[in-house]
């Protein structure tokens, strides 16, 4: 018995000594405990605020232990050196349950895959987007169809004094994604299937932020603990299975109507064509379904949330809303809707959209990267295999380039002439990240934001019913608090 005790003490002593020897190799951060690291210090929500506070104490590159090491970057110059200057070292994702549970199959799709498969899926997706979308202006046509449907829906509302814009915006954005991926639209009078899917995905993204999810990421064996496993891992896994079933059914429908002799008019058909033409075994049904899911979730959540923020800001600052509308009337008039050809002549509207993205900072923390080799970042060593998180919230809200950064001020994006965009400020406004793993759908997202936002501003004045509180709701993204508004039709 005494030998067992001595052996146990030796083991514990060696483990603790080895643990703190490892800690010394990483950028400084809050003091971790053996086995649990800094887990007890994590807040239940608003983790980006906690990280921002740590950056003030330990600098813009610090380490947290869970108990595995995670490095957090909160500064633009650090992030640029890591994700751009040393981009090849950061093209891998972490292989941890809370993140891999975004997909039912490991290393599939675009968002969470790594290595050669990521390169193949990203390259294929970009080719499809270029050939099928941007190169033929089909994307703008698709967005405008959804815009017309949105405006028709708003016009049909009898009581315009108390309108909840959540589902009209959600369906407008969802139909752009849905037509791009599957080639069809949902109708405003019949979109229960769409609502069910959106609710499942929203629940899933929120569950990934829970303490149970964090525990499972740190200690995968916790999935077998009854309460934690059920509320965390298995609950999340059931959600994955539910929305994967939805995606599988949509893809299967498109496979049935795929015509090899016709040019593809949606992502699924274009991917099937690439499968046939290249014969690459990495282009398969699992990766097709995973890529579709990535585009659906990422494209839906970010754009719709940004547009809901846009109305909240415009109602909070009606003088800015009036200035946007005045620019639209001067450039476009009222006889037609704004188009992408108008965008260069609408600098203030562009500036407002940039400031909405910056000030709301709705994706505070990016999915983790993993460096595949030791790297030195501004004199600090990050050993190979470390999870690295980019905190965009701190960059967008704390960078010194943004004067009076807590204020909502679109003019920061314009030079003194009021017409020329401020490139220095734009460079550090990175809501879609930077580097090789920046958002594949950035072009489509920017297209949607400009066309949908400017059309809404042209057609209606949005007046809040009550006070607008810009304090975000923490979940899968930082969302605007629910609101209703009075829609006042506009004429020049």
| Binding region | 439
Both structure tokens of 348: 């203030």
Q: Residue 288: name the closest of 441, 98, 101, 124 by CA.
A: 124
350 vs 451: CA distance, rounded Å: 11
**Buried b / exposed e along 71-100 (16+ C-beta atoms within 10 A):** bbbbbbebbbbbbeebbebbbbbbebbbbb
Report how far Cα 26 is from the mean position of its chain's Cα atoms: 28
Q: Which residues are annotated as a binding site for heme?
A: 439
* Sequence-ordered list of residues with C-beta below 8 angstroms from that of 157, at least 6 positions apart, any chain: 163, 487
292 vs 255: CA distance, rounded Å: 13
Both structure tokens of 449: 């934001």
308 vs 470: CA distance, rounded Å: 11
* Residue indicated by tokens 């890591």: 82
**Packing angle between helix 347-360 and helix 442-459, nearest 10 degrees?**
110
Report how far Cα 177 is from the mean position of its chain's Cα atoms: 15
247 vs 431: CA distance, rounded Å: 27
Cβ(410)–Cβ(352) under 8 Å? yes
Report how far Cα 415 is from the mean position of its chain's Cα atoms: 29
Hey, how many other C-beta atoms are within 10 angstroms of the C-beta on 135?
Answer: 10
109 vs 118: CA distance, rounded Å: 7
Cβ(103)–Cβ(70) under 8 Å? no
230 vs 390: CA distance, rounded Å: 30
345 vs 218: CA distance, rounded Å: 51
């Amino acid at each position: 018995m005494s030998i067992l005790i001595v052996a146990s003490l030796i083991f514990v002593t060696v483990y603790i000594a080895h643990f703190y020897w490892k800690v010394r190799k990483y950028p400084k951060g809050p003091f971790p405990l053996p086995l649990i690291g800094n887990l007890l210090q994590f807040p239940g929500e608003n983790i980006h605020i906690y990280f921002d506070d740590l950056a003030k104490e330990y600098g813009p590159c610090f380490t947290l232990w869970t108990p595995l090491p995670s490095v957090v970057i909160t500064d633009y110059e650090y992030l640029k050196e890591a994700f751009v200057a040393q981009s090849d070292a950061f093209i891998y994702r972490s292989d941890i349950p809370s993140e891999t549970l975004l997909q039912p199959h490991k290393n599939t799709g675009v968002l969470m895959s790594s290595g050669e498969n990521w390169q193949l899926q990203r390259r294929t997706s970009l080719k499809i987007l270029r050939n099928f979308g941007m190169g033929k202006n089909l994307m703008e046509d698709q967005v405008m169809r959804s815009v017309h449907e949105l405006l028709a829906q708003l016009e049909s509302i009898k009581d315009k004094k108390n309108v909840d814009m959540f589902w009209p915006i959600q369906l407008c954005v969802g139909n752009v994604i849905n037509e791009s991926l599957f080639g069809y639209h949902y109708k405003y009078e019949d979109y229960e299937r769409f609502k069910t899917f959106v609710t499942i995905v929203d629940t899933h993204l929120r569950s990934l932020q829970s303490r149970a999810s964090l525990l499972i990421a740190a200690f995968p064996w916790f999935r077998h603990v009854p309460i934690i496993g059920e509320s965390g891992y298995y609950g999340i896994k059931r959600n994955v299975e539910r929305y994967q079933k939805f995606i599988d059914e949509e893809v299967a429908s498109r496979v049935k109507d795929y015509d090899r002799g016709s040019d593809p008019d949606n992502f699924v058909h274009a991917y099937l064509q690439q499968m046939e033409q290249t014969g690459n075994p990495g282009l398969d049904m699992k990766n097709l379904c995973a890529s579709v899911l990535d585009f659906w979730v990422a494209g839906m959540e970010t754009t719709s949330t940004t547009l809901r923020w846009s109305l909240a800001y415009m109602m909070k600052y009606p003088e800015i809303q009036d200035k946007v509308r005045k620019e639209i009337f001067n450039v476009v008039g009222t006889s037609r809707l704004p188009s992408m050809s108008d965008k260069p002549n609408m600098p203030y509207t562009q500036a407002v959209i940039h400031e909405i993205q910056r000030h709301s900072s709705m994706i505070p923390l990016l999915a983790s990267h993993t460096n595949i080799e030791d790297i030195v970042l501004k004199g600090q060593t990050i050993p190979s295999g470390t999870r690295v998180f980019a905190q965009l919230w701190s960059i967008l809200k704390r960078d010194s380039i943004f004067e009076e950064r807590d204020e909502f001020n679109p003019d920061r994006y314009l030079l003194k002439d009021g017409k020329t965009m401020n490139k220095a400020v734009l460079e550090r406004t990175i809501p879609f990240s930077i580097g090789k793993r920046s958002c594949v759908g950035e072009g489509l997202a920017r297209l949607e934001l400009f066309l949908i936002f400017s059309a809404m501003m042209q057609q209606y004045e949005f007046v809040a019913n009550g006070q607008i509180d810009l304090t975000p709701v923490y979940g899968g993204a930082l969302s605007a608090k629910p609101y209703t508004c009075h829609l006042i039709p506009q004429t020049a």
